Homo-oligomer: A and B are copies of this chain.
Amino acid sequence: MATLRVPPQVPSPAEDCEQLRKAFQGWGTNEALIISILAHRNAAQRKVIQEIYAETYGEELLKALDKELSSDFERIVLLWTLDPAERDAFLANEATKRLTSSNWVLMEIACTRSSLDLFKAKQAYQARYKRSLEEDVAYHTSGDFRRLLVPLVSTFRYDGNEVNMTLAKSEAKLLHEKIAEKAYNHEDLIRILTTRSKAQLNATLNHYNNEFGNAINKDLKTDAGDEYLKLLRATIKCLTYPEKYFEKVLRLAINKLGTDEWALARVVATRAEVDMQRIKEEYQRRNSVPLDSAIGKDTSGDYEKMLLALVGHGDY
C-alpha cells in the first residue's frame, strides 16, 4: 500500500504547470508550493505535468527544478518527479559508477521490483545510456558480487503464484547442503536465488526453515563482517520480505551519525507509491517509534517537509 496522497480534486495539469512556473519565478523559490503540487500527484499525473510543462515553457521541468533547488531537497524532488522506470534506470546507473557504486542499490532494484517493472527500467536504461544495464553491471563488478548481481539484474523472473512443492523440497535440500559446505557462491545456490519465482522461493525457504530448523538467513550469518554474505542475506530478504528489508535500510540510514540521506531519499521516493504503508508499520513495530517522527527528528526544512508529505504525514 502506498502512502502517496492525491487530493480528491486534482487541478488540471495546465494549472499545476502554471503554479510550478510561478513557484520558480520572482525572488526566491516557493518550495512549499512545489511540495504541495508534486508530492501529491501520482506517476501518471507527474508524467503529464512534465509533458505539458515542456510544451508550454519550452524547458524540461526536471531542468527547471535542478536550477531552482539544491542539495538534499533537490535530490528527493528530482527522484520523486522522475517516471519510476527512469528513476530506477538513473539509480542503477549511479550504482555502477565508480564514485557512487553500490551493489546494494543494484540488488534492491533487481529484487524488489515486479518483473515487468524491472524490464521497463532496463528499457529506460538503454534509451538513456545507450548500453544495457546488464553489461554495465557485469563490467563494473567482480568476483562473487558479479556472480550474484549479473543474473539478478538479467533474469526475467516468473511473477505467477504457481508453486512446485517437489522442487521446493529438493532445492531446499540443495541450498542446505551448499550452505553446510560454506559454498556460498556455489552456482546452484546462485541459480536458485536468481531464477526462481518469488512464490517458488518462498515455498523453498519455508521448507528449508521447517526441515532444517533455522531460517536460511540465520545459517548464512556465519561471519558478520563478510560483505558478500551480507549482500546475499539482503537479497533473500528483498525477495521474500521487502518491507523488512526497507525498514532496516531506513533504520540504519536514520540512526547513522549524520543520516544517510541517499538511502533515505531513495527508499522514500521509490516506495511511497508502492508499499510505504507496510514499511511504516514494520518500522513502528521494530523501533517503537513512528517513521514520521524519526524522519522529523533527523531532517529539517523543505527536505523534511517533502519526505513527510511522501510518507503520508499531515494534510495535502
Contact = CB atoms under 8 A, between A and B. Distances in A.
Interface of A: 119, 122-123, 126, 130-135, 138-139, 146-147, 150-151, 154-160, 162, 187, 191, 194-197
A10 B238 CA distance: 53
- Copies of this chain per assembly: 2
A132 B195 CA distance: 8
28 contacts: A119-B119, A119-B156, A126-B156, A126-B158, A126-B160, A131-B158, A131-B162, A131-B197, A132-B156, A132-B197, A133-B156, A134-B151, A134-B155, A134-B157, A134-B194, A135-B191, A135-B195, A135-B196, A135-B197, A138-B195, A139-B191, A146-B191, A147-B187, A150-B191, A151-B154, A154-B154, A154-B155, A156-B156
A162 B132 CA distance: 12
Majority SS of interface residues in chain A? helix
A158 B130 contact: yes
Nearest to A160: B130
Contacts of A195: 132, 134-135, 138-139, 150
Given A138-B191, A139-B191, A195-B138, A132 B157 contact: yes
A275 B135 CA distance: 27
B130 A162 contact: yes
Contacts of A196: 135
B187 A158 contact: no
Contact of A151 (B131, B151, B157): B151
Contacts of A160: 126, 130
Contacts of A135: 155, 158, 191, 195-197
Nearest to A155: B134
Contacts of A131: 158, 162, 197
Contacts of A132: 155-158, 195, 197
Given A150-B191, A151-B150, A151-B151, A156 B122 contact: yes
B130 A156 contact: no
Contacts of A154: 134, 151, 154-156
A200 to B, nearest CB: 8
A131 B123 CA distance: 22
A134 B150 contact: no
10 cross-chain pairs, A with B, having the tightest CB-CB distances, nearest first: A154-B154, A135-B195, A132-B158, A138-B191, A130-B162, A134-B195, A134-B155, A138-B195, A122-B156, A126-B158
A195 B139 CA distance: 9
A244 to B, nearest CB: 25
A158 B128 CA distance: 11
A240 B105 CA distance: 34
Given A126-B160, A134-B194, 20 more contacts: A119-B119, A122-B156, A126-B156, A126-B158, A126-B159, A131-B162, A132-B155, A132-B195, A135-B155, A135-B195, A135-B196, A138-B194, A139-B191, A139-B195, A146-B191, A147-B187, A150-B151, A150-B191, A151-B154, A154-B156
